[in-house]
Amino acid sequence: MTALVANSQLPYTRAAPEGSEDPESVGFLGRLGSVIPSTQEPSRRVADAEVSAVRSCDATNASEVPQACRRSCGRASAARRVARDTGPGEGPYHGPHPAVARSRGYMSFAYLIVAYRSESDLPACLDALEADRPDDATIIVVDNASPDDSANVARRHPSRPEIVASARNLGFGGGCNLGVAATEADTIFLVNPDARVLPGATMWLREALADDPGLGVVAPRIIDPHGEFRSTAGGAEPSLRSLVGHYLLLGRVPWVRRFFRPFHLVDTDVETRADWVSGGAMMLRRAAYDAVGGFDERWFMYMEDVDLCRRIRAAGWTVGYMPDAVVEHAIGGSQSEGQPRRWYIAFDRYLRLNRGSFRARLCAVIVAVGLGMRWVAYRKTRPANARRVGEGARAALSLAIGRHKHSTGQGPDRPDAIQGHDLLNSDPR
């Protein structure tokens, strides 16, 4: 949308649910095992000792929270239900973990959704946020001049989000800027309307920001619930090396991968520091966001998240990836025809701006070759994916041989708003 420096993983081992031999066969909850309780059986999936740890934890720093307590209150809503369901007369758990609040100071919190033609996606998205929502969180939905009934769908939802209306479509970055301006929250969780925040994601990301005051942005693992597409939550800054690492797969070869930091994360199970993370689901520290002036609205759609992360890193903050937090994003279902081509046009513009035209053209050759090989590999076994990578390969090849011409930018060193390429579709990402 990274060779990455991997941090140590959290001190527990994921286990499959009892009676399952293959964690992958039971989906997300199977992979997480007993770390996060089932939404259907929150109290039955957490041991009494862990519930006690939630209520009695006296840690003074987030890093000192005992393992059992981390497992029980990985999300505020789970801990609330545990307290409610297992101990009559004992009050529910509210808001951030006490150790987190004490160690780093309380940070107010808001979810932010930018909606454009999202009426069919919003109910499930808001349901998921409400299920994972801490007591202190607000939800903001930006109606980005959507021609459908997105605003009314959000307004009628039981989560009762605040609706911020825009008179025109500002693009994803512009919509986010409008929504952030409507809240004073110290932490903002940007979520695509066609994404589903899974149990625990909110709390894991908030805890990551609380643990590291230098962390400006953190993102969850993003998975495709249908398994057709490999979702990407972040990676290395776009460059010749990172594209060779990703598209020509050298970033997966152990003895050379450190020289070709892949554009997309390879070790998606490892908590790490990345160069960029996806705006489809990212949690922002308000101070870092304000320090760089938010999203550059001249990136109307695509690459605005990579650009924001680059500027946040330049301002001295770090960008993180937290795989314990998980968000589902049905990539294949939410994108219109032509999306891979439009994304690559924006990607090429980013390369030309930051790497120069000659290197951008070399990168286009690398991408065309890499996607072409994937098209050959996927065309019989994964036809939907083959169509997407084939379209991307054709777009890259067109730019590599100079058949596509970019429109004139708004200034000597910045791209124009990219609106001339018709980057609008049902998904504002």
Q: Give the tens place of pLDDT for each residue, 354-383.
A: 999 999 999 999 999 999 999 999 998 888
More confident: 426 or 174? 174
How much is the pLDDT for 340?
Answer: 85
Whole-number average pLDDT of the chain: 75
How much is the pLDDT for 197?
Answer: 96
Give the mean model confidence (pLDDT) for residues 78-102. 39
Which of 103, 135, 168 is a domain's end point? 103
Same-domain status, 92 and 219: no
What is the rounded distance in angstroms from the CA atom of residue 73 to the CA atom of residue 95?
A: 10
Same-domain status, 181 and 329: yes
How much is the pLDDT for 74?
Answer: 40
How much is the pLDDT for 339?
Answer: 82
Same-domain status, 163 and 281: yes
How much is the pLDDT for 404?
Answer: 59
Same-domain status, 147 and 34: no
Helix, strand, coil shares, percent, the chain, to 5: 40, 15, 45
Same-domain status, 23 and 69: yes
CB neighbour list of residue 303: distance below 8 Å, 6 or more residues apart: 1, 346, 347, 349, 350
How much is the pLDDT for 229?
Answer: 53
Which of 56, 85, 103 is a domain's end point? 103
Give the mean model confidence (pLDDT) for residues 349-353. 93
Percent of the chain with pLDDT over 90: 51
Same-domain status, 94 and 139: no
- Report yes or no on 300 lying in a domain: yes
- Report yes or no on 34 lying in a domain: yes
- Report yes or no on 258 lying in a domain: no
User: Has residue 324 got a pLDDT over 50?
Assistant: yes
**What is the pLDDT confidence band of residue 53, given thresholds at 50, 70 and 90?**
very low
How much is the pLDDT for 176?
Answer: 96
Element spanning 156, H or E: helix 150-156
User: Has residue 105 got a pLDDT over 60?
Assistant: no
How much is the pLDDT for 405?
Answer: 57
User: Has residue 415 got a pLDDT over 50?
Assistant: no
**What is the pLDDT confidence band of residue 265, given thresholds at 50, 70 and 90?**
confident
Q: Mind listing the pLDDT tens digit for each residue in 218-255?
A: 999 998 877 555 667 899 999 999 999 999 988 888 88
More confident: 36 or 118? 118
- Report yes or no on 238 lying in a domain: no
Same-domain status, 128 and 222: yes
Which of 310, 334, 358 is a domain's end point? 334
User: Has residue 337 got a pLDDT over 80?
Assistant: no
What is the rounded distance in angstroms from the CA atom of residue 275 to the CA atom of residue 236?
A: 5
Same-domain status, 406 and 379: yes
Percent of the chain with pLDDT over 70: 66
Domain count, the chain: 3
- Report yes or no on 70 lying in a domain: yes
User: Has residue 417 got a pLDDT over 80?
Assistant: no
Tracing tokens 């497992």 back to the chain, one arrives at 71
Q: At residue 62, what are phi and psi to the nearest 5 degrees?
A: -60, -35
Same-domain status, 145 and 67: no
Same-domain status, 34 and 139: no
- Report yes or no on 133 lying in a domain: yes
User: Has residue 87 got a pLDDT over 50?
Assistant: no
- Report yes or no on 244 lying in a domain: no
Give the mean model confidence (pLDDT) for residues 272-288. 95
Number of H helices, E strands in the chain: 16, 12
CA Rg value for the chain: 21
Listed as own residue / partner, the contacts of 103-106 with beta carbons closer than 8 Å and 24 or more positions apart are: 103/60, 103/61, 103/62, 103/63, 103/210, 103/211, 104/62, 104/209, 104/210, 104/211, 104/213
User: Has residue 425 got a pLDDT over 70?
Assistant: no
- Report yes or no on 256 lying in a domain: no
CATH of residue 160's domain is 3.90.550.10
How much is the pLDDT for 352?
Answer: 93
How much is the pLDDT for 251?
Answer: 87
Range of the domain at 361: 339-421
Q: What DSSP assignment string belongs to 120-134?
A: TTHHHHHHHHHHH--
Strands 187-191 and 109-115: parallel
Same-domain status, 144 and 184: yes
How much is the pLDDT for 98?
Answer: 46
Q: Mind listing the pLDDT tens digit for each residue in 153-207?
A: 999 999 999 999 999 999 999 999 999 999 999 999 999 999 999 999 999 999 9
Burial class (CB in 10 A: 0-12, 13-18, 19+), 405: exposed
How much is the pLDDT for 221?
Answer: 93
In terms of pTM, does the model score above 0.75? no
Which range in 25-39, 104-118, 178-192 is most confidently predicted, on average pLDDT? 178-192
**What is the pLDDT confidence band of residue 257, given thresholds at 50, 70 and 90?**
confident
User: Has residue 269 got a pLDDT over 60?
Assistant: yes
Q: What DSSP assignment string belongs to 159-216?
A: T-PEEEE-SS--HHHHHHHHHHHT---SEEEEE-TTEEEPTTHHHHHHHHHHH-TTEE
Give the mean model confidence (pLDDT) for residues 281-300. 95
Same-domain status, 214 and 352: no
